[in-house]
Amino acid sequence: MMHHTVIASILVSVSVALAIVSSIGLGIAKEAFERLHFSSAVTSFSAGLIVVAVWLDDPDWQSRLKVILVAVILFVMNSVLSHATARAIRIREAKHLQPEPIDKIPLITRENPTGLSK
């Protein structure tokens, strides 16, 4: 049992270190789209590490199920929140959501399936 506790402690420590590094990255990042990447690392990787740590260290099946449920909710809601935040940033910066020719975003259409300009 001692090995499980040591491994769980290491996993939690790595999770905390990842959260600290991501927080520093959030502070350093210049653009809002870059900040989205740093925030998603915490909810996906750190939550996964915590799940494994609890699974190894706690024999109670209720604790295991609860931590898995929380991690899945965090993972799914992070995707939704990141998408909504990116849309809001796009609308705030460009004043519209749909791409226009002035944006120089390659559009994929039936006439141009690759999106490359001819």
Single-letter code of the amino acid located at 105: I
pLDDT band at 28 (very low <50, low <70, confident <90, very high): very high
pLDDT, tens digit, 9 for 90 and up, residues 45-100: 999 999 999 999 888 999 999 999 999 999 999 989 988 988 898 888 878 777 77
Q: Which two tokens stand for residue 87?
A: 């849309």
- Residues in CB range of 75: below 8 A, 6 or more apart: 43, 44, 47
What pLDDT is recorded for position 52?
A: 94
Contact (Cβ atoms closer than 8 angstroms) between residue 56 and residue 4: yes
What pLDDT is recorded for position 20?
A: 94
